[in-house]
Amino acid sequence: MIKKWLLSNLIGVSITVFVLITTFGLVYSLANKNQISTGPDNVQFRSGPGLEYHSLATLKRGTDLIIMKDDHGWYQVRRGDNEKVGWVASWVAESRTLRHATIMSEATIVLDPGHGGDPDKRYNGLAGDNGSSSADGKYHEKTYTLRTARQVRAALAPTGARILMTRDADVLVPLLDIPKLATKYQADAQISFHFDHDGDSDSATSASGITQYYYHDSGHGLASAMHNALNSLPLTNRGMDTAQYVVLDHATQPATLLELGYINNPSDFKYIRSTQYQKQIATDITKGLTTYFTDEAGKK
């Protein structure tokens, strides 16, 4: 009797079963979409959404958390084991590649490769900008700022830090838009990459070396950390200075601008165009940022 009924109502039964399974799946998904389990060890459970807030606890791998709010990529969460509420860096807590989180892992760092774009094209109404050029005019600053920033990003990747690039292609980013990215994500550091130029655009110079700039007091510590870290480069470190560049003047977060050699000095340019030099810059900046964030944490 039941078999006969099932056969005569096969379509209706199938639809009912499908609806039940789909409904259960949706309910299960909705119930768990705001739940995560920490990937790395040593995830910091902080009193607020940022490195400036003190740590309430250190979470082990596999700690269950319920997401309550998202603020610039920081999650306000409730712990599944003791119901306490705090904040975690989302990219750290959800990482499946990072094994052990550090102070660097929680940092948001904006890398800004200076200049960019084709001068014959318009980007949001502005012409592209090659930046300065080598003494023979064949090579442009925009190329090497981007290559250097990419090397820095690669060096920073193993730390687990959240890395944002103002550009990752040969395009122009308006100067006023550069600090906005750091502001939007409440970045802990903004680093702009440039290569210096001295004299006429079509002539070589004897000027040589690297310089670190900042403008607001909030950028002094970052620029100082970069100054100390970059002392091992083969080019002379000319020191730190203040400059009212737009990307520094309009910065709301700690910001520094690095001039990493004179592109129209043929001797400096041999280093600038070298992948080895770019990688050394990346290694040194990573070390400098590690020291900077560790020192900043010690002041709290």
Mean pLDDT of 252-258: 98
Per CATH, the number for 35-93 is: 2.30.30.40
pLDDT at 297 (0 to 100)? 84
Mean pLDDT of 44-60: 97
pLDDT at 18: 43
Amino acid at 290: T
16-25, 48-57, 59-68: the lowest-pLDDT one: 16-25
Pairing state between β 189-196 and 108-113: parallel
CATH topology match: 35-93 vs 108-298 = no
The pLDDT of residue 242: 98
Could you write out the DSSP letters of every residue in 210-230?
A: EEEEE-SGGGHHHHHHHHHHG
The residues, any chain, with a CB within 8 Å of residue 82's CB and separated by 6 or more, are: none
Q: What is the CA radius of gyration of the chain?
A: 25
Q: What pLDDT is recorded for position 9?
A: 58
- What pLDDT score was predicted for residue 28? 39
The answer to whether residue 20 scores a pLDDT higher than 50 is: no
- The confidence score (pLDDT) of residue 129 equals 95
Q: Which CATH architecture has domain 108-298?
A: 3-Layer(aba) Sandwich (3.40)
Q: Counting every residue, how long is the chain?
A: 300
Q: Tokens 């102070």 appear where?
A: 103
- Reported confidence tier of residue 19, pLDDT bands at 50, 70, 90: very low
Q: Cα–Cα–Cα angle for 72, 150, 274, nearest 5°?
A: 160
- Which amino acid belongs to residue 7? L
The per-residue pLDDT for range 22-50, each reduced to its tens digit, is: 444 333 333 445 999 999 999 999 999 99
- Eight-class DSSP state of 41: B
pLDDT of residue 214: 98
User: What percent of the chain shows pLDDT beyond 90?
Assistant: 84
- Number of C-beta neighbours around residue 11 at 10 A: 8
Average model confidence (pLDDT) across the chain: 91
All structural domains of the chain with their residue ranges: 35-93, 108-298
In 4-127, beta strands by DSSP E: 35-37, 43-46, 55-59, 64-71, 74-79, 85-89, 108-113, 122-123, 126-127
Categorize the per-residue pLDDT at 163 as very low, low, confident or very high, splitting at 50, 70 and 90: very high
Tell me the pLDDT tens digit for each residue of 194-218: 999 998 767 899 999 999 999 999 9
Tell me what pLDDT residue 200 has.
75
Q: How confident is the model at residue 1 (pLDDT cuts 50, 70, 90)?
A: low
Give the mean model confidence (pLDDT) for residues 257-283.
Answer: 98
Q: Dump pLDDT digits (tens) for 100-113.
A: 999 999 999 999 99
pTM tops 0.75, yes or no: yes
Q: If DSSP codes are grouped into helix, strand and coil, which group holds residue 100?
A: strand
